[in-house]
Structure 1
Amino acid sequence: MLETFILGLIQGITEFLPISSSGHLLLPEKILGFQDEGLSFLVAVHVGSLLAVVIYFFKDLMQLASNWGLSLVKKPHDKAQATLAWWVVIATIPAGLAGLLLKDIIEVIQNKEAVMILIISASMGGFGLLLWWADIKAKKDALLKQGQDEYSMSFKQVMIIGFAQAVALIPGTSRSGITMTAALALGLTRKAASRFSFLLSIPLILAAGLLLTKDLVENPSAINWNSLLFGTAVSAISAYLCIHLFLKWIEKIGFLPFVIYRLLLSVVLLYLGLKALG
């Protein structure tokens, strides 16, 4: 149960913080000697993350869905909500298409352990520095009171964030990290960039969970339901708290602590990658 708790905690926290879940999921196996929990466990912890973000943004999601639906047939009650809902849909498309087109290439890279670790190390550090630059720009915008909220984005800004999200297919990039980086660079406030990134996570986590479920159905295995339920609960609770605390503190602390953490982890992964090469 300790392994299940730690893995669920890692999934719940790293799914939404800008520090890359792929980099962290390597650590329990490489450093702590954990065994692979299997496909069913991956499905479970993804469900936990999805539950957390849906519960946290439930009221917003109901408003977005309602106004988006009305926008298809008539004038919505809240045009800003309808527009934001469309932005979430549109910004999801590039990553969805890229995932389908590059699925085979990604699987080949994942099967080459040393190469995978070194790519994650490089992405962790490189995109971490890019996040630092974007955060400095956002801080200057805040001082000049020029930051935008998530409701005032243009189509061009949304598409750039969408294509940035597709870049997260590179292991170690961090989906939340790269979308927040793009949003900050485009002029959104720290909180607005974070909120939009969290909303964008919902369709992609759902899609990932469905794909994993499909693979699980095609390749059934013995399932430890106690472990799955426990892992789901840990992932959901930790993810919910992560979202809440992140949005509460991000305007005050900025992204520098996450940048420093990414750079340190990049060095650790570089060592593990070189060691795996022999």
Structure 2
Amino acid sequence: MTSPEAVFLGLLQGATEFLPVSSSGHLLLAEHFLGLAGGGLAFDVMLHLGTLAAVLLYFRREWWHMAEALVPGRGATGDRRLLALLVLATIPGGVFGYLLDDLAATTLRSPWVVAATLAGVGALFLAAEGVARRDRTLAALDWRDAAVIGLAQALAIVPGVSRSGITMTAALFLGFRRAEAARFSFLLSAPIIAGAGLHEGHKLLNGTAGPGPEVLWGTLAAFVAGYAVISWLLAYLARHTFHPFAYYRIVLAGVVAALLLWGSAA
């Protein structure tokens, strides 16, 4: 893999990790249709670190307040409560990710699966936009909400679902404002991204792969794209709907299906 390819994959990973369009789905499609294979396990680990750095840096005040709330006699009750809810919402995704890791890496790695999940979650987005009341803030988040969003996040083990997309959709159905749904989804991404990086990093320490010179460029690209997308999307959702992302997913699903059918008929 060349450095330009590494930068392209880093930008793709960083942007689609936080946009509700599926990073795993886009990377799989890039591999299938463009022949852009990843840079191995070391590259995957570093891309995760790039996106993790983006979400930690952007929400540095929130993370600091939550860490401070762990110290007896310091911090606000709300920050301590938010941290507890993030832990609760992380559990289903961590469990399912651990149990179904092999299935996700083999059977579910199919462009047809990606096409189906892109369209399916796109339709859910449109449904949530149509029926949700969207008047709740994170201050109203409770244990039931965290459990529902956490269970939704577990579905992201399937390529094309999108971790951010499915958690934002669940939050919309629960009545949260769009920007608040995105904010909780982004905060929730940190432990999952860190867990994925540690899981792959453990394999890396066992000697299954080694880093190449292009790794730094891909990591930097993932960080820059991730940070920019978080900042832009939170501002965008304060005034706009999720409709463009839903339509994009559905149109892309149609294009992928058409290309696959054309390829099988050729």
**Fold shared by both chains (TM-score > 0.5):** yes
Q: Specify the alignment match of 2:118 in structure 1.
A: 124
* Letter aligned with residue 221 of structure 2: V
Structure 1 letter corresponding to 2:234: L
1:51, distance to aligned residue in structure 2 (A): 0.4
Alignment of 1:48-127 (within 5 A): 48-67=50-69, 69-70=70-71, 74=72, 77-110=75-108, 116-127=110-121
Of 194-203 and 209-218, more deviation after overlay is shown by 209-218
**CA distance 1:223–1:76, shift in 2 (3 Å):** closer
1:223 is matched by which residue type in structure 2?
A: P
Judge which range, 28-37 or 183-192, deviates more.
Answer: 28-37
Counterpart amino acid of 1:263? I
Q: Contact 2:204–2:210 (CA<8 Å) still a contact in 1?
A: no
**Matches of 1:220 and 1:157, distance apart in 2:** 39
Residues 1:187 and 2:185 aligned together: no
Question: 1:110-164 deviations in whole A, cap 9, x for unaligned?
Answer: 5xx5xx21111111101111011112334xx25xxxx111121121111111111
Distance (Å, rounded) in 1 between the aligned partners of 2:255 and 2:103 = 25
SS in 1 for 2:238: helix
Does the residue aligned with 2:51 lie in a helix, a strand or coil?
helix
2:83 and 2:96 map into 1 onto residues whose CA distance is 21
Matched-pair contact (CA < 8 Å) for 2:65–2:75: no
AA in 2 matched with 1:79 = T
Stretch deviating more after TM superposition (128-137 or 173-182): 128-137
User: How far apart are 1:39 and its partner, in Å?
Assistant: 1.3
**Displacement after TM superposition at 1:31 (Å):** 3.0
- Change in 2 beyond 3 A, CA 1:164/1:237: same
More helix by proportion, 1 or 2? Answer: 1
CA shift in 2, pair 1:134/1:206, >3 Å? same
Instruction: Write the deviation string for residues 220-278 of structure 1: whole angstroms up to 9, x where unpaired.
Output: 434323x1111111100110000000001112221001001101111122234446767
Work out whether residues 83 and 151 of structure 1, in 8 Å CA contact, stay in contact via their aligned partners in 2: no
Name the residue aligned to 1:151: 139
The Cα of 1:173 is off from its aligned counterpart by 0.6
Report SS of the residue matched to 1:252.
Answer: coil
Taking a change above 3 Å as real, the CA distance of residues 229 and 126 of structure 1, as seen in their structure-2 partners, is same
CA shift at 1:169, angstroms? Answer: 1.3
**Paired AA for residue 207 in structure 2:** N
- Residue identity over aligned pairs, in percent, reads 39
TM-score normalized with structure 1 length: 0.89
Q: Which amino acid aligns with 1:229?
A: L
Query: Take 1:207 and 1:12, find their aligned partners in 2: how far apart are those partners?
Result: 17
SS at match of 2:95: helix
Unaligned 5+ runs, structure 1: none
The answer to whether the Cα contact below 8 Å between 1:117 and 1:272 also exists between their aligned partners in 2 is: no
Q: Is the 8 A contact 1:118 1:274 kept in 2?
A: no
Which amino acid in structure 2 is aligned with residue 107 of structure 1?
Answer: A
> How many residue pairs get matched?
263
Structure 2 letter corresponding to 1:230: W
Shift of 1:106: 2.2
Cα shift readout 1:183-211 (whole Å, capped 9, x = no counterpart) = 01001100110000000000000000011
Contact kept in structure 2, 1:16 and 1:176, CA below 8 Å: yes
Alpha carbons of structure 1 residues 102 and 34: separation in structure 2 relative to 1, 3 Å: closer
- Counterpart of 2:127 (choices 133, 143, 149) is 133
**Matching of residues 1-278 of structure 1 within 5 Å:** 1-67=3-69, 69-70=70-71, 74=72, 77-110=75-108, 116-138=110-132, 141-142=133-134, 147-225=135-213, 227-274=214-261
User: Kindly tell me: are residues 148 and 76 of structure 1, through their superposed partners in 2, closer, same or farther at Cα, counting changes over 3 Å?
Assistant: farther
**Deviation at 1:175?**
0.5
* 2:32 maps to amino acid: K
CA contact (8 A) 1:91 1:163 kept: yes
Single out whichever of 14-23 and 98-107 deviates more from structure 2: 98-107
CA-CA distance at 1:34 after TM superposition: 2.2
Unaligned runs of 5+ in 2: none
CA contact (8 A) 1:81 1:151 kept: no
Q: Offset at 1:24? A: 0.6
The alignment's TM-score, normalised by the length of structure 2, stands at 0.93
